[in-house]
Amino acid sequence: MVNELFSANQVASMFGIHVMTVYRWIHSGRLPAKRLPGGRLRIETQELEKLLSTYKAETNGNVK
């Protein structure tokens, strides 16, 4: 699998949540992110897969 990088906005859209929630997850360490040279944050595919399994469990599978 190709390891893509996603922005916080893309992750928020995928999960059906507000972008600020994604930033809170990043800053709390719940969602690891890479900082690009320009300062922007990006989330790797593998980290999203880990989070998705946790998120599904917490929401009883009610994910978009």
- In the predicted model, is pLDDT for residue 63 greater than 60? no
CATH of domain 5-58: 1.10.1660.10
CB 59 within 8 A of CB 51: no
Residue 51: the pLDDT is 84
CB 46 within 8 A of CB 6: no
List pLDDT tens digits, range 9-50.
999 998 889 999 999 999 999 999 999 999 999 999 999 988
**Using CA atoms, how far apart are residues 4 and 12, in angstroms rounded to an integer?**
16
CA distances from 63 to 29, 36, 44, 60 (A): 21, 29, 19, 8
Two tokens, residue 7: 């922005």
Please state the pTM of the whole predicted model: 0.78
